[in-house]
Amino acid sequence: MIEVKNIKKSFGDKVVIDDVSAVMQAGQCNLIIGTSGSGKTVLMKCMVGLFEPDDGEILYNGESFTKMNRNEKTEIRKQIGMLFQGSALFDSLTVQENVMFPLNMFTTWPTKKKIERVNEVLDRVNLKDTNKKFPAELSGGMKKRVGIARAIVLNPKYLFCDEPNSGLDPQTSLVIDRLIKEITLEYNITTVVNTHDMNSVMEVGSYVLYMYQGKKEWEGTNKQIIFSKNQRLNEFIFASEFLKDAKEMRMLEETGKMPNDRNIDDMVK
Amino acid sequence: MTIFRDIGQYLLMLSGMISRPENAKMYWKEFIHQCSEIGIGSVGIVVIISIFMGAVSTVQTAYQLVSPVIPISVIAQVVRDTVILEFAPTLVCIVLAGVVGSKIASELGNMRVSEQIDALEIMGINSKTYLVLPKIVAALVVIPMLVIIAGVLGIWGGRLAGSLTGIVPPATFDQGLLDTFEPFKVIFALYKAYTFAFIISSISAYFGYYVKGGALEIGRASTRAVVISCILILFADYVLAALLL
């Protein structure tokens, strides 16, 4: 479990995170959602220690990450895997070398065992026969999958995904979303996903934290989103007419009646 | 104020890279890789520059020393001292600041912008120790070697030019090389080489490591790294000469 307690972060005069608290549930997919510039990436970077919060605390299983020294933080970081927005694969290394990098750095396994583990995780993300390819030779979706493989190769306890669907087509986005969800449940990882993709919210999210201009605006489950009366959240999630209709169809499924006294025939038209 | 912030951040980078390696074997591999990148990658340009600078020194010294009272062998002495004291360490290192410095700055800048440095930090790896330290140590090992090669080839280039143009016969040139030779001049050239190697690698690494923004900023950081390195090399050149000669 990861606890975020009253985190504040500013860059110069600009307050980016303003007193945000949340609890990321263990063994589940936790989503941080919000418009661009709402502070979700900064919050995630505070959680993994890439940014130092100005105030507040991050706790991993009750231990204060913010108060730890460098060595203690390193130990926690060894339990963290992260998928970056641009995948952040090492350009000069092949797919196999990229995925093997954490193993080379932190294990004393023989090469054969490392290669077996690399093939195992590459198979898990449905990537075969790409071991000798360089990142420049891969598509966006393949890069993301290599990024996930590298993130899980050391069996982490925590997985952070920063905008896993950015730059991907809807079909590939769905593949990545499902993969993240499957891996979370399969390995019992605490996953935190940063996204503004509506499909991701409905597909993978268990706990959802909605941020607006650096503040926590709403939190709940993805099922509760459908019934939320929060205007900002509704404007963000159900921005188009199509999504509004989808929401109302879902409400109809869940409650058996249409919201706002709308007629189902109006929606079909 | 920016200059004080830069100096402080530069010193923090240097102190931050001193930590115990997570895996010595991986660091050794990276060090060897950097030695190859900096050394092998720069040999060609160093060879060309050195031969021509020696050759030009011989021809121009001969042009200025037209006097019946000065023996021709003095040309070899002038070429030898000029090459060892100034051309081999300073000129070659200024060229290396362009070749190696821009490469280090752009490589690290690209890694910063594409979040590869963040990825290393998340893995629990000290990115300064893994990325910056091997570059600085490799430069300290390889650049003095390149300076020695430049010195030898520069003098050989001068001898060749003297022989081809008929200004100084090889035997006379060899005799001039041995006259009044002081080994300290070679030691002094090595002091310079180590100092310049540290300047080139650390300054370039600093500008690359702390890049903010995108491709445009990487280019700017690369240019700044080369310009600042060149200025500091010339400044250090003067300070070393004033202190040690």
Q: Does A84 touch chain B (CB under 8 A)?
A: yes
Q: What gap in Å lies between CA B125 and CA B129, rounded to an integer?
A: 8
Task: Count Cβ neighbours within 10 Å for each residue of A91-113 and write b for 16 or more, e otherwise.
Answer: eeebbbbbbbbbbbbbeeeeeee
Q: Both A247 and A195 in a single domain? A: no
User: Over 70: is that where the pLDDT of B180 sits?
Assistant: yes
Q: Both A42 and A86 in a single domain? A: yes
* Contact yes or no for A106 and B119 at CB 8 A: no
Contact A132, A165 (CB under 8 A): no
Tally of domains within chain A = 2
Across A79-94, average pLDDT: 91
Q: Supply the pLDDT for residue A240.
A: 66
What pLDDT band is residue A269 in, cutting at 50, 70 and 90? very low
Average per-residue pLDDT in chain B? 93
Q: Both A242 and A221 in a single domain? A: no
Across B182-186, average pLDDT: 92
Q: Does a structural domain hold residue A231?
A: no
More confident residue, A243 or B32: B32
| A218-251 pLDDT, tens digit each | 888 877 887 778 888 888 877 666 666 766 777 6
Q: Does a structural domain hold residue A233?
A: no
| Strands A2-11 and A55-60, sheet pairing | antiparallel
A196-210, B124-138, B165-179, B181-195: segment of lowest average pLDDT: A196-210
Q: What gap in Å lies between CA A1 and CA A157, rounded to an integer?
A: 10
* Contact yes or no for A105 and B119 at CB 8 A: no
Q: Supply the pLDDT for residue B20.
A: 84
* Contact yes or no for A106 and B124 at CB 8 A: yes
Q: Supply the pLDDT for residue B64.
A: 87
Q: Both A170 and A114 in a single domain? A: yes
More confident residue, A199 or B71: B71
Q: Does a structural domain hold residue A97?
A: yes
* Contact yes or no for B123 and A77 at CB 8 A: yes
Q: Both A170 and A142 in a single domain? A: yes
A70-74, A213-217, B11-15, B94-98: segment of lowest average pLDDT: A70-74
pLDDT > 90 in chain A, percent: 42
User: Over 50: is that where the pLDDT of A138 sits?
Assistant: yes
Give the gap in angstroms from C-alpha A20 to the nearest C-alpha of chain B: 22
Q: Does a structural domain hold residue A232?
A: no
pLDDT > 70 in chain A, percent: 91
Say what the ipTM of the complex is. 0.84
Q: What gap in Å lies between CA A261 and CA B17, rounded to an integer?
A: 65
Identify the closest residue of chain A to B110 by CA–CA distance. A91
A194-208, A246-260, B54-68, B75-89: segment of lowest average pLDDT: A246-260
Q: Supply the pLDDT for residue A226.
A: 78
Q: Does a structural domain hold residue A152?
A: yes
Q: Does A74 touch chain B (CB under 8 A)?
A: yes
Q: Supply the pLDDT for residue B65.
A: 82
Q: Does A225 touch chain B (CB under 8 A)?
A: no
Closest CA to A33 of A144, A223, A163, A169: A163
What pLDDT band is residue A204 in, cutting at 50, 70 and 90? confident
Report for A139-153, A166-180, A223-237: range of highest mean pLDDT: A139-153
Q: Supply the pLDDT for residue B135.
A: 96
* Contact yes or no for B122 and A77 at CB 8 A: yes
Q: Supply the pLDDT for residue A262.
A: 55
Q: What gap in Å lies between CA B239 and CA B233, rounded to an integer?
A: 10
* Contact yes or no for B119 and A80 at CB 8 A: no
Across A138-160, average pLDDT: 91
* Contact yes or no for B116 and A105 at CB 8 A: no
Return the CATH number at A7: 3.40.50.300
Give the gap in angstroms from C-alpha A243 to the nearest C-alpha of chain B: 33
What pLDDT band is residue B240 in, cutting at 50, 70 and 90? very high
Q: Supply the pLDDT for residue A261.
A: 54
Q: Both A197 and A260 in a single domain? A: no
- What residues of B are in contact with residue A91 (Cβ under 8 Å)? 110, 114, 116
* Contact yes or no for A102 and B123 at CB 8 A: yes
Q: Both A178 and A201 in a single domain? A: yes
Helices of type H across A87-217: 95-106, 111-124, 140-152, 170-187, 198-204
Question: Which chain B residues touch A if contact means CB-CB below 8 Å?
Answer: 22-23, 25-26, 110, 114-116, 118-119, 121-125
Task: Show the domain range for A171.
Answer: 2-226
Q: Supply the pLDDT for residue B130.
A: 94
Across B25-48, average pLDDT: 93
Q: Supply the pLDDT for residue B132.
A: 95
User: Over 90: is that where the pLDDT of B116 sits?
Assistant: yes
Across B99-106, average pLDDT: 95
Give the gap in angstroms from C-alpha A249 to the nearest C-alpha of chain B: 41
Q: Does A89 touch chain B (CB under 8 A)?
A: yes
Q: Both A248 and A218 in a single domain? A: no
Across B178-194, average pLDDT: 92
Question: Which residue in the set B25, B26, B122 is minimally distant from A82, CB to CB?
Answer: B122
What pLDDT band is residue B71 in, cutting at 50, 70 and 90? confident
Q: Both A179 and A212 in a single domain? A: yes
What pLDDT band is residue A129 in, cutting at 50, 70 and 90? confident
Q: Supply the pLDDT for residue A260.
A: 59
Across B24-48, average pLDDT: 93
Q: Does a structural domain hold residue A77?
A: yes
Contact B47, B149 (CB under 8 A): yes
Q: Both A6 and A124 in a single domain? A: yes
* Contact yes or no for B115 and A88 at CB 8 A: yes
Q: Both A49 and A178 in a single domain? A: yes
Q: Supply the pLDDT for residue A176.
A: 87
- What residues of A are in contact with residue B26 (Cβ under 8 Å)? 104-105
User: Over 80: is that where the pLDDT of A23 sits?
Assistant: yes
Q: Both A250 and A185 in a single domain? A: no
What pLDDT band is residue A257 in, cutting at 50, 70 and 90? low
Task: Count Cβ neighbours within 10 Å for each residue of A22-42 and write b for 16 or more, e otherwise.
Answer: bebbeebbbbbbbbeebbbbb
